[in-house]
Amino acid sequence: MEQKGRDSRRIFFGTFAGGVAGALTAPRTVLGANERIRVGIIGPGARGMQLVREAMAAPNVEFAAFADIYTKRLEDARQVAPNAKTHLDHRYLLDDKSIDAVIIATPQHLHCEHFTAAIAAGKHVYQEKTMAFTVDHAKRMRAAYENAKGQTVQIGHQSCSSGMMTDALTFAKSGKLGRITAIEAHMYRNTPHGKPQWSRPVYPDMTPENILWNQFLGEAPKREFDPNRYINWRFFWDYSGGNVYENMCHQLSFWYKALELKIPSAVTMTGGVYLWKDGREVPDTMNVSMEHPEEILFSWASGFGNDQLGVSEHILGTDGTILKGQHITYKPQKVNQPKEAEIAGQATAGKDAHMRNWLDSIRGQATPNCPFDVGFRVSIACRMAVESYRQKRTVRWDAQKEELV
């Protein structure tokens, strides 16, 4: 019976080519402090389900619907929230007037499509990173956001809600850093031999009958069904910005918020696929140099073949340094601040603080810790890096025309 139901559902969605069923009617956008928030998600994969669990653990939240183009994802999601509705087409989730808020955790090339539709439907949005895939997508998402009618938008850079952010803001505003001229950051990982970073297996049920391939492609170039491209989408430029969009974005967002940095004036990225010869197009070893109009050089290096250097950032000022890794610390430059002492960060926040902040903002009890503007600036910087690598040249930003040159 269940199989028959799935088959009929596949046939229906497979032939659905028009617009959203029925007129999109916006739900309530202002909720009281104790009102229940009904939440849905587009893209309940591994990361998406982590966000689902965070939302479900918050008070006065009901998880109401899942939308995904892969039938097994919907079956798995049902185990977590048995009473939630499931949809192969996200437009039916957005058409549900009882849903207040939507989490979007789809591949990066689909963010614009899902975000703009969710905003048009009047939903509050938690948009996973990197917010926008291209400059055009970023502008389209901004236009949608500017036309929103009181909806709350949180971009999924979780460190913006961390205790380290609280300490970083304190250090940055203390006047103890002096003139900042450089930021040095890196992100290195390693995996066991034979287990490439991000690689996922292709399962037998990943077939055209179980995956809505055209919906996955979205605006990307048309291709014949390929389960490897579907499950390992992070490998391919059509759908992914590689590790720039996976991890550099997080380190950028933290300091773009803390230091209020603008979009870089110029970005140069070099590197290559030096380690994993498994068909991936995105590099596994890279270096990005970003020149900011504040006269700060932000350098980021990353690789997947050795984790000795781990993840860290150093904010280098004439009078002091902020070191951020597992902890955050201020260290004075004794040449200019001989009497200053080292200060260790003390602030803490829960692992679900970013989700709680979004939900509190929907209720009018807070403001988003990673607002749309931070996501916009980070998206442009990340796109500049990818374009530099692919075009093998420095890419510049025309701030007046808002174009890459």
Do 193 and 336 fall into the same domain? Answer: yes
**Distance between CA atoms of 183 and 62, rounded to whole angstroms?**
42
Residue 137 lies in a domain: yes
Q: Determine the pLDDT at residue 31.
A: 66
Q: Supply the DSSP symbol for 352.
A: T
pLDDT-derived band at 35, boundaries 50, 70, 90: confident
pLDDT for res 349: 97
Please give the pLDDT value at position 403: 98
CATH code at position 99: 3.40.50.720
CA 203 to chain centre: 26
Look at residue 203 and tell me if it is in a domain: no
Q: Is residue 357 part of a domain?
A: no
Mean pLDDT of 131-139: 98
What's residue 29's pLDDT?
59
Domain ranges, residue 339: 160-197+233-349+372-404
Is 176's pLDDT higher than 70? yes
Q: What is the pLDDT of residues 319-334, one digit of tens each?
A: 999 999 999 999 999 9
Is there a single domain that holds both residue 9 and residue 73? yes
Note whether residue 270 is domain-resident: yes
370-381: burial string, b at 16+ Cβ within 10 Å, e else: bbbebbbbbbbb
- For residues 140 and 164, membership in a common domain is answered with no
Query: Looking at per-residue confidence, does 9 or 261 come out higher?
Result: 261
Q: Give residue for tokens 């916006």.
A: 26
- Work out the average pLDDT over 53-61: 97
- Same domain flag for 17 and 121: yes
pLDDT above 80: residue 37: yes
H or E stretch covering 173: helix 163-173
Mean pLDDT, residues 291-318 taken together: 98
Q: Rounded to two decimals, what is the model's pTM?
A: 0.92
In this prediction, residue 2 carries a pLDDT of: 37
pLDDT exceeds 50 at position 60: yes
Does residue 51 form part of some domain?
A: yes
126 and 268 housed in the same domain:
no
Q: CB within 8 A of 277, min separation 6: which ones?
A: none
Residues 192 and 289 in one domain: yes
Last residue of one domain, picked from the residues 159, 176, 210: 159
**pLDDT of res. 30:** 59
CB 176 within 8 A of CB 320: yes
Which tens digit of pLDDT belongs to each residue from 367-388? 999 999 999 999 999 999 999 9
Q: Are 316 and 336 in contact (CB under 8 A)?
A: no
**Whole-number average pLDDT of the chain:** 93
- Segment 27-52 mean pLDDT: 86
Where a domain ends, among 138, 159, 180?
A: 159
Question: At 214, is the pLDDT very low, low, confident or very high (cuts 50, 70, 90)?
Answer: very high
Report whether the peptide linkage leading into residue 181 is cis, meaning its omega lies within 30 degrees of zero: no
- Looking at the chain, the whole-number percentage of residues with pLDDT higher than 90 is 91
Judge whether 221 lies within some domain: no
- Specify the higher pLDDT residue, 206 or 16: 206
pLDDT at 347 over 80: yes
Report residue 153: phi and psi, to 5°: -120, 125
| Domain count for the chain | 2
Residues 387 and 319 both lie in one domain = yes
pLDDT on residue 319: 98
Percent of the chain with pLDDT over 70: 92
Range scoring the smallest mean pLDDT among 23-32, 56-65, 111-120, 181-190: 23-32
Q: Which pLDDT score, from 0 to 100, does residue 22 have?
A: 36
Evaluate whether residue 71 is within a structural domain: yes
Do 192 and 172 fall into the same domain? yes
Which of these, 182, 270, 198, lies nearest to 234 by C-alpha position?
198
Q: pLDDT, tens digit, for every residue of 7-32?
A: 434 433 433 333 333 333 445 555 66
Entry field: residues in the chain: 405
Distance of alpha carbon 225 from alpha carbon 370, whole angstroms: 36
- Classify residue 190: in a domain, yes or no: yes
Residue 298 near residue 292 (C-beta atoms within 8 A): yes
User: CA–CA separation, 120 vs 148, rounded Å?
Assistant: 7
Taking the C-alpha atoms of residue 155 and residue 1, their distance in angstroms, rounded to an integer, is: 40
pLDDT value at position 28?
Answer: 55
The pLDDT of residue 26 is 44
Same domain, yes or no: 16 and 31:
yes
pLDDT at 118: 98
Alpha carbon 176 to chain centroid distance? 32
82 with 154, same domain: the answer is yes
151 and 358 Cβ atoms separated by less than 8 Å: no
Do 304 and 276 contact (CB within 8 A), yes or no? yes
Q: Is the pLDDT of residue 98 over 80?
A: yes
Residues 170 and 317 in one domain: yes
Q: Which of 19-23, 175-179, 345-349 has the lowest mean pLDDT?
A: 19-23
**Are 186 and 142 members of one domain?**
no
At 297, which CATH number? Answer: 3.30.360.10
> d(Cα 378, Cα 384) in Å, to the nearest integer?
10
End-to-end CA gap in the chain: 57
